[in-house]
């Protein structure tokens, strides 16, 4: 009877995981070798894999994805830790306002944020007007890449900052008392006590941000359309374009599988480097 109760408890979550987690991956694998689109040809073998891996656009999208990841992930995590530490020193009202200010963009519609940023970055937009410049923020490279990076940064800091501030409560207060007796200043306490004490949380948040950055597509799609000259076309955006713009579903399935393998590979690499369990 108890075993049946366990299955009743985990059954709904397990069903959702299979339907929305495992099933799409299996469908992508089969869709990469079997064309089941509106005018599908049936079994196509590894033709879609060959077409994708011999396409210069695919490797450009892969390079852009990795570039966003390498640039954004360290900045997001470093800024999140610094902001969380600084806010933890502030007064209660200032701390509450800071949490609100950083978290509001994280729960705001991505489309709305894209519209605001597109208006601000336009040739006759707010930024050029304020600084009396004529920079093509979203119409030239590498300005478009850095503009998208700034947009992503503005909406992804909130969640890590909130989680990190909550995790500070798990650090033993006696360690701070001993540090004060030894003459440590607040920055030394943060570096030698706070950060090591919440390192598992930092790693966990880093893995979440890693997965999110690799799957970046909404802001490039909404603001630049992947341009100029594919300078902001990520692998996720290319997958969307292949499936719903060019209706090449086998090629889109191949890219989906590559994205899954890329995320899994980086997760395992994180496990090896950090020595921390990431999943399970």
pLDDT digits (tens, 9 = 90+) for 98-132: 888 877 887 788 888 888 999 999 889 889 988 88
Average pLDDT over the chain, rounded to whole? 86
Model confidence pTM above 0.75: yes
Cβ contact 143:136 at 8 Å: yes
Q: Please give the distance of CA 222 from its chain centroid, rounded to a whole number.
A: 16
Q: Is the pLDDT of residue 4 over 80?
A: no
**pLDDT average, residue stretch 191-214:** 89
Query: For position 39, what pLDDT does the model report?
Result: 58
Judged on CB neighbours under 10 Å (0-12, 13-18, 19+), 128 is middle
Query: In CATH, what class is 39-274?
Result: mainly alpha
Rounded to whole angstroms, the Cα distance separating 225 from 262 reads 23
**pLDDT average, residue stretch 226-240:** 91
Query: For position 280, what pLDDT does the model report?
Result: 46
User: Cα dihedral sign for 103, 207, 49, 66?
Assistant: positive
- What would the DSSP string read from start to end of 140-166? STTHHHHHHHHHHHHHHSHHHHHHHHH
């Amino acid at each position: 009877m108890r075993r049946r109760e366990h299955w009743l408890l985990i059954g709904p979550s397990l069903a959702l995981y299979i339907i929305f987690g495992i099933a799409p991956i299996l469908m992508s694998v089969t869709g990469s070798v079997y064309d089941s689109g509106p005018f599908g040809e049936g079994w196509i073998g590894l033709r879609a894999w060959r077409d994708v891996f011999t396409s210069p656009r695919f490797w450009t999208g892969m390079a852009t994805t990795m570039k966003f990841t390498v640039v954004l992930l360290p900045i997001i995590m470093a800024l999140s830790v610094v902001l969380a530490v600084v806010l933890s020193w502030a007064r209660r009202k200032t701390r509450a306002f800071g949490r609100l200010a950083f978290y509001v963009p994280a729960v705001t519609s991505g489309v709305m944020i894209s519209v605001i940023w597109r208006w601000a970055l336009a040739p006759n937009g707010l930024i050029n007007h304020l600084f009396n410049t004529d920079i093509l923020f979203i119409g030239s490279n590498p300005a478009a890449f850095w503009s998208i990076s700034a947009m992503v940064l503005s909406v992804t800091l909130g969640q890590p900052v909130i989680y990190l501030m909550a995790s500070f409560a798990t650090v033993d207060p006696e360690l701070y008392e001993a540090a004060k007796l030894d003459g440590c200043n607040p920055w030394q306490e943060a570096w030698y006590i706070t950060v090591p004490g919440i390192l598992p949380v930092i790693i966990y948040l880093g893995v979440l941000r890693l997965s999110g950055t690799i799957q970046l597509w909404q802001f490039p799609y909404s603001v630049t359309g992947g341009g100029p000259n594919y300078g902001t076309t990520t692998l996720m955006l290319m997958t969307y374009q292949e499936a719903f713009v060019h209706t090449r579903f086998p090629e889109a399935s191949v890219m989906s599988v590559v994205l899954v393998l890329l995320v899994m590979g980086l997760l395992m690499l994180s496990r090896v480097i950090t020595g921390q369990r990431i999943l399970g």
